[in-house]
Amino acid sequence: MAYVDATVDAADGAAFDARVDRLARTVCPRDPRTLDQRRGAALGALGFGWDRLPCLCEHPDCAAATRPAGGGVVIHVIAHADALDDTPRTPEPTPTPAPTPHPEPAPVPTGDLTTQRRGLSGPTPPMLSKPLSSYTLDGVIAEVSADPGQHTPASPGIILGGPVLPGPVIARLAKHATATPLTYPAQGPPEPRYRPSHALAAFIRARDLTCRAPGCARPATACEIDHVIAWPHGPTAAANLACLCTEHHLLKTFWPGWSYRLDPDGTATWTDPTGLTATTHPGSRHLFADLTTPAAPLTTKGTPPAKHTAGLTMPRRTHTRTQTRHQRIADERRRNTPWAEHYLRAQIPPF
């Protein structure tokens, strides 16, 4: 056996973790290993340069060879636009006040000037007094903003599912990344379908950052987008959508007594079967307060049906999401075939 340990940048660590996880999921569901065991084996696969993990199910109809390979990964970093440019910004000059006559002040004792000169000519003090990994989100914000006279080069950002990043680190990452503006669709009309668009889903994940259930820290990238008021009774709009991990999504959907409401600013108030309530706030309210701007009011249709089970149960999938998507495309092509043949026949003379 061997032990591997490394200290890397936060973005590199997030990319490495995502790549290992993707390789670990390239086997079929019958593989006897746990996810942690497969993640350990994925480290060896990375060393050999493999794009998939050998499946150990030994089943003659193993579908691992047809599953997508564990290719590249994408790490999402949320930041303000001013953090993408590391060009030093010259502050505006302060206007010189008009001279005012003052009495001659009494001399102030200077003490030992040697220590003061050494402090002025020494290295620039660090932005944070402790390693970044030891901070919480509130702790970073409190320490960075503690001294109003200290200029912060750029606003900090955050990795979805990862730690807070200082502005200079984000500027360095932006040189080799694709910057996509985050649209704010909260004031727009509801979308006319169940599945939210890519832009709306990206906004919800950036606003929430984590699962919105009390005490759950599952990152938004591993969560599902939930309709607070079940669709089609509730619209597909920012004021009716929130991130929930699979477990809490099932809890809210199928277990009677569990529910929550979403305020226009994204604040979620949960109610358990005993009537107790708990409140969670969007994870972006500290660093990106503009994402919690109150959304447009909701317009509901009818009353959602009552929940019908007493546990975290739901029908199990018989096909993967990819297989379902391919089948949906094939069905659509089959429906369009008669129209396409009719169109081609209409192009053959005589018309």
Q: Which two tokens stand for residue 102?
A: 């003052």
The Cα–Cα gap between 279 and 271 comes to: 9
Q: Which helix (H) or strand (E) holds 42?
A: helix 35-48
pLDDT for position 11: 75
Q: Quick one: pLDDT at residue 153?
A: 54
pLDDT at 119: 45
pLDDT, tens digit, 9 for 90 and up, residues 118-158: 444 555 556 666 676 666 666 666 665 555 444 445 678 88
Q: Are 44 and 53 in contact (CB under 8 A)?
A: no
Half-sphere exposure of 234 (CA within 13 A, CB side): 19
Nearest CA to 243 out of 220, 218, 215, 271 is that of: 220
In the block, residue with structure tokens 């591993």: 222
Angle at 186 between CA 136 and CA 321, to 5 degrees: 80
Per-residue pLDDT, 124: 55
Predicted pLDDT at 116: 47
Task: Indicate the pTM of the whole model.
Answer: 0.60
* Cross-strand bridge partners of residue 242: 226
DSSP code per residue over 243-285: EE-HHHHHHHHHSTT-EEEE-TTS-EEEE-TTS-EEEE--GGG
Regions in the chain scoring below 70 on pLDDT: 68, 70-71, 85-130, 132-154, 186-187, 302, 304-317, 348-351
